[in-house]
Homo-oligomer: A and B are copies of this chain.
């Protein structure tokens, strides 16, 4: 996309990481995992893949919209992607998903580090987390 936004290259990279992780988790869960069965449809693992695809989608949408609150959502996304990477590694035969989740977790943690301390946000009279940096 060529039109002007305030998104820097780190954010563009994180958007791509979230979109890729969403696509791979959703596609692998609802095609590969359901076809193979067994460990691939174990409750906690399978649910985590669906949850992971959804939070990645939401994190990408926050960043695409230039939300002032992307860092909070990226923090949650990093937690879920990190867990999903570990779960996929334990199941095995999920290398593509492991890599996508790990890359997304790292990229989202980098974004989350821009988050203001909760206290400073709550005491501010302004609604924007970037206004009192």
Contacts and interface: CB of A to CB of B under 8 A. Distances in A.
Given A1-B24, A127-B83, A43 B47 contact: no
A96 B58 CA distance: 23
Contacts of A80: 69, 72-73
A86 interface: yes
Given A55-B58, A58-B55, A127-B86, A66 B3 contact: no
Interface of A: 1-3, 5, 19, 23-24, 26-28, 30-32, 34-35, 37, 41-48, 50-51, 54-55, 57-58, 61-62, 64-69, 72-73, 75-76, 79-80, 82-84, 86-87, 90, 96, 118, 121-122, 127-129
